[in-house]
Structure formats: C-alpha cells, structure tokens
Amino acid sequence: MKWTGLVAMLFVPFSAWAQWNVPVPIVLDGASTDDRQVKDLSLPTEVDHGANAASVRERSTTYAVAQGVDDLTVALVPTATAYTAGMLVSISPVSTNTGGSTLNIDGLGAMPIMKFTNLPLDSADLRAGVPALMVFDGAAFQLISQTGIACPPGFLDVSRDVCVEAVPYGPANWYTAVSQCSARGLRLCGWADWFRGCSMPGGFVNTIVEYEWVDSAANDNNHGKRVGLETGTTNPDCYAGGTQIPLGMNNFRCCYNK
C-alpha cells in the first residue's frame, strides 16, 4: 500500500503540471510510441520557450497577416524584439502591392523588401492572400518565394509579362476580334506575342487550322496582318503570313497582360 501511494503521489504532479527541470537527459523508452513522446504542448509565447512540432511545421511563431498595401505591418507571436540577420518570416498580405514595399514587424521599423538581392519589388509581386516568404539580410527583407504571376487556365506563359491563349477563337473579322478580346478584359495578340507562343517548345502550332489575326497594321493603311499558314497550303507555319482587308474572316487569339 505504501508503494502504491508513492506512485500516485509522484504521478499526479507530473501529469497535472507537465513541467520538468532536471540536470540530466530524460530518456523516453516506453514499450509503445504513446509512452515515448511528450504531448499537448502549447504554442511557445516567449523567446525561451521550446517549440512543439506543430509550431515548427505551421510556422506559428513566424507567420502573420500583413496589413497595408506597400508599407506592410505585421505582429508576430511571440513579439520580435529586434531584427537579426537570418530572421525568417512568412506573411500573407491583405492587399496586392503597387510597387516598392517595406515591412515593419512589431514596430521595430520599416525595412525595404527586395528581390534578386538588390531590386525593389514590382507591382503584384506580393498578392492578396498569397503567402510570401522572406529573410532579413541585415539591411532589408529579401523575398525568396516565387514572384511570377501564373497564366490563367487556357493560356500559355510566353514571357514574363504576357500569356497567350492556347486555342484560337473565330473566325471573325479583325474589328470583331479586337472587340471580343477587349470585352473579356484581354487584347488581340500582337505579332511578337503570337510568334513566341507558336514557336516555343510546347507552343500552340498544332492548334493552327487557318490564318489568324494579330494586332498589326502590317505597314499598310488598308490591311491587317494574318499569320499561321504556309503560303498556298494549309500547313501550320509560325513564320509565314500575309495581309488581308480587315473585313476578312480569320481566327484569332487573345493575350493577357500579367
């Protein structure tokens, strides 16, 4: 009975407080996995607290929603006391930035956000609701997550700034092609955009079935430029093309500016 009482007396404090301070390593060597782990640790709220696996995995102590547009502010838990080189933070902006931006963590002061070491951010490098990962280099926060904007579904990524539709619309005259693209918030593809989408690996050359309009006057006041077929044949050709009066009927592709 005395032994049982001793076990109960030791077990209750450890179970209730779960707080140890011993000068030697603690070895968890129970027979099952449940006996070899420490459970139910809360989130660390002070700089000297240990972090549990969930906090590390979810970046609970280094992630925060960022308020503002270009001058961003965040509040971390626990509160940061200083900027240190190597400091890693993840933010989720509430707004898409319009240009060069700064980050102010816990009122420590606004620091510039840079990309590619020494370039300020462009518009839409930080997008509303899209997490951004950055590291402090001692003078600025370096954006190390992806900055490129993906093309919408159904478009090919042909350059840093432009997406081209993977399949054509039409047929329509040149004026209708321009109007239909504009009505969708897009634009009729220019010759350079179209050529890149056609000639690049994985491009749309195999979807060309007839001539296609591009947004080019073709050095002619009375004609528009059409491209896509080898002259006198129905063979797709990224390099071939010609001119036609704008009222002629051809396919067309719309382009999206990122």
Mean pLDDT over 78-83 rounds to: 92
Q: Is residue 172 part of a domain?
A: yes
Whether the predicted pLDDT of 244 surpasses 50? yes
Task: Check: pTM over 0.85? Answer yes or no.
Answer: no
Nearest to 47, CA basis, from 103, 104, 106: 106
Whether the predicted pLDDT of 190 surpasses 80? yes
Whether residue 169 sits in one domain with residue 130: no
Which residues, 6+ apart, have CB-to-CB distance to 184 below 8 Å? 254
Whether residue 173 sits in one domain with residue 137: no
Residue 193 in contact with residue 238, Cβ under 8 Å?
A: no
Q: Which two tokens stand for residue 139?
A: 């003078």
Q: Is residue 237 part of a domain?
A: yes
The mean of the pLDDT values for the chain is 85
Whether residue 106 sits in one domain with residue 190: no
Q: Which of 117, 143, 169 is the last residue of a domain?
A: 143
Domain count, the chain: 2
- Condensed to tens digits (0 to 9), the pLDDT of residues 204-231 reads 999 999 999 999 866 777 899 999 998 8
As a whole number of angstroms, the distance between CA 25 and CA 46 comes to 23
Whether residue 83 sits in one domain with residue 161: no
Quote the domain boundaries for residue 120. 58-143
Whether residue 247 sits in one domain with residue 201: yes
Q: Is residue 65 part of a domain?
A: yes
Task: Name the amino acid, one letter, at 57.
Answer: R
Whether residue 124 sits in one domain with residue 175: no
Whether the predicted pLDDT of 164 surpasses 60? yes
Q: 57 or 167, which is more confident?
A: 167
Q: Which of 112, 143, 174 is the last residue of a domain?
A: 143
Whether the predicted pLDDT of 246 surpasses 80? yes
3-state secondary structure of 90: strand
Whether residue 171 has a cis bond before it, omega within 30° of 0: yes
Q: Which two tokens stand for residue 164?
A: 């081209």
